[in-house]
Structure 1
């Protein structure tokens, strides 16, 4: 399922069903980019068997945002523009000025755009209206916000909140390393990054390396703070948390997979079973993680995203 998680909050027991949400999203159904479009973005059916644009399993919603981008490197545009500018200079006897060069570049872009290659990508969005979570499978907040912009536009008074905790993730991770003690239910793994708060921004990274408490304390005492830390929750899920609370490298561990046998099921049943397993465990992980960070300070998001 998800490899990354950018996390947001919804009011618990958000009163909207899958059919209503699908109707709101229908005008934003994905359409292929036109000849003169650099990009097209919209919602697609999460599964071919999905009933509309929202796939529901056990009161959990799954959305899929698809993006088509034209691949038109600026180096190609600039090269063709220079060739055209040289031809124009030969015709008129003097090099084109700034305004003329800009117009040439726009003309070249318009000519090349219909012939550009395209790249399709998609992003999962999980909505838990029961426990109040919205999670985007993205490694960056900027990409996740592309989905949020569409949701704000589609859903009237979409009640989304950013997740701000009592203790900042960076400060909490630094404390865990300094005390050599992870919060209850978690263990610290072998990857971390510490960065200086000084202007130098000096950075130390450990990758698949035993974390020695004394060494880490020395770095912390010199003004470094933990910006990334690999953790395992309940011996079931490993992940890496960043200082902005984004989660990456999510992996279900063997102990969890072994207890989840779906042999003999068809693809749709396996998919739904995996989705139920993933969301059920991630709900618990998020609850424990927020508790370890002191709880949530609600902060409504602005629709101007």
Structure 2
């Protein structure tokens, strides 16, 4: 249940839906298995998996819904090899070279024939909707996947205006300052041991893990003009994470004390109770941490209210 990566969005003018109505709306977009010739499909599924059937869990204003994405994996190299074999056979039989358009038609034919036999990959993506703070977070490492899930939610609700969460101070500027000047770090910020440094020119990206970020080597790189595009940070007693320059929060690691609190909760060996207990404890920690992160970055940018919705 514990999230690994989050893309954060501010929700504007959320539609008023109670739990029953939202559950019904989710049911209308529930996941159905792929048909034989469909390349991909996305729909809602039960967050608890086999342990439950409800599509929505809501506790103290915190909503959990889960999307299931399936796609057929058909490598381009497999299609290309089959097209080449068939094209060669046709050219040999007819004694001529196939035209470009004929090869494109042959490629489409091969793709349609092989697709139903392709391997199917499934991926679940959790979405957390904080109704109290008008915040939506999608548990995926990919911004593209997050926006696919938001598109599904928009289709489910009929409308959904969200903008990527933005801060007054650009994350890259703040991370570079924290890295270069210990005095600039907020009192409750814990510096981690992972960084990605970008150069202004064409010198590429330098990535370092398990290093002392206060070392002379790191300081020399900063003095040379490099800026921090990713930085491992922590909030003591809560969690650790890697902050990205687009304000994505990845590689989440929750504090042992929080995990122990969840494990000691009495769930009566009920998987649904366990899911909801973990979810509530996790979102409480995340909500507090996101507020602290925004404070570190000078608060939320007002411009995010006016940015184009996704």
Scaled by the length of structure 1, what TM-score is found? 0.92
* Regions of 4+ moved over 4 Å: 11-14, 48-51, 300-303
1:300 shift after superposition: 4.6
| CA distance in structure 2 between the aligned counterparts of 1:69 and 1:13, rounded to whole angstroms | 30
* Matches of 1:18 and 1:51, distance apart in 2: 15
In the alignment of these two chains, the number of paired residues is: 303
Q: Distance in 2 between matches of 1:226 and 1:264?
A: 43
Residue in structure 2 matched with residue 279 of structure 1 by the alignment: 283
1: CA distance, partners of 2:178 / 2:287: 23
Q: Which shifted more, 172-181 or 121-130?
A: 172-181
Alpha-carbon distance between aligned partners in 2 of 1:134 and 1:254, rounded to the nearest angstrom: 25
1:8–1:162 contact (8 Å) kept in structure 2:
yes
For the residues of structure 2 that align with 1:241 and 1:14, how far apart are their CA atoms? 30
Aligned mate of 1:196, from 171, 196, 199: 199
Contact 1:4 1:250 in 2 (8 A): yes
Q: Using structure 2 for the length normalisation, give the TM-score.
A: 0.91
Q: 2:297 aligns with which of 270, 274, 293?
A: 293
Residue 218 of structure 1, CA deviation? 2.2
Match of 1:268 among 269, 272, 293: 272
Partner of 2:32: 31
**Aligned CA distance change for structure 1 residues 4 and 121 (closer, same or farther; 3 Å):** same
Aligned with residue 178 of structure 1, among 174, 177, 180:
180
Cα distance in 2 for partners of 1:230, 1:86 equals 54
Tell me the secondary structure at the aligned position of residue 164 of structure 1. coil
- What is the CA–CA distance in structure 2 between the aligned matches of 1:188 and 1:169, rounded to whole Å? 15
**SS across alignment from 1:259:** helix
1:10 aligned counterpart, secondary structure: strand
Q: Hey, what's the Cα distance between the residues in 2 that align with 1:158 and 1:270?
A: 30
Distance 1:300 1:119 in 2: 37
Give the gaps of 5 or more residues in structure 1: none
| Aligned pairs (5 A) from 1:126-275 | 126-181=128-183, 182-201=185-204, 203-260=205-262, 261-262=264-265, 265-266=268-269, 267-275=271-279
Asked if the contact 1:239–1:250 (Cα under 8 Å) also holds between the matched residues in 2, the reply is yes
Q: How far apart are the structure 1 equivalents of 2:126 and 2:260?
A: 25
Inter-partner Cα distance in structure 2 for 1:51 and 1:59: 20
Alignment partners' CA distance in 1, 2:206 and 2:95: 58
Rounded to whole Å, the distance in 2 between the matches of 1:58 and 1:107 is 53
RMSD: 2.0
CA contact (8 A) 1:191 1:229 kept: yes
Matches of residues 56-135 of structure 1 in structure 2 within 5 Å?
A: 56-135=58-137
Partner of 1:2: 3
Cα gap change, 1:101/1:13 in structure 2, threshold over 3 Å: closer, same or farther? closer
**Can you give the 5+ residue segments of structure 2 that lack an aligned partner in the other structure?**
none
Deviating more after overlay: 149-158 vs 130-139: 149-158
Q: Distance in 1 between matches of 2:15 and 2:131?
A: 5
Cα displacement (A) at 1:93? 1.3
1:126-147 superposed Cα distances (whole Å, 9 cap, x missing partner): 0011112100011121110111
